[in-house]
Amino acid sequence: MSETANINNPMNEPARGMQSDITISDKAADEIGKIKTENNIPENHFLRIGVKGGGCSGLSYMLAFEEEQRNGDILIEHKGVKVIVDERSLMYLQGTVLDYTDGLNGRGFVFNNPAATRTCGCGSSFGV
């Protein structure tokens, strides 16, 4: 079962009146830990999730490991995994569930984003 991970800024205050939840599924958290171990990524590194302009639908999701938090980053912790997101991206990711799938249609991380009004066929870009 997935749990909602609380989002806190470094001062432990909710992000500027926004809904303060993004869900990291247990399966996604397990896969993030597995990737870090298999690739010798230090335990103190964060997984950054974010949104950038581009893709067929206007916006694209991004995932990258980073050593340090940036000023204004929001920290999400679930099952020992530390995920960071900048406040601008958080506006587009409110209520999103980051999941991992390994089914017949392929393997990978999936952003189940209720704010997305359109998506491309591959699921890596969206529009609001």
At 50-102, the pLDDT tens digits run 988 766 657 888 999 999 999 989 998 988 899 999 999 998 888 999 999 98
Q: Enumerate domains of the chain plus CATH numbers.
A: 3-127 (2.60.300.12)
At 97-127, the pLDDT tens digits run 999 998 877 788 988 888 777 565 555 544 5
State pTM to two decimals. Answer: 0.73
Q: Show contacts of 45-50: CB within 8 Å, 24+ apart.
A: 46/75, 46/82, 46/83, 46/84, 47/81, 47/82, 47/83, 47/84, 48/73, 48/83, 48/84, 48/85, 49/22, 49/83, 49/84, 49/85, 49/89, 49/93, 49/98, 49/111, 50/85, 50/86, 50/89
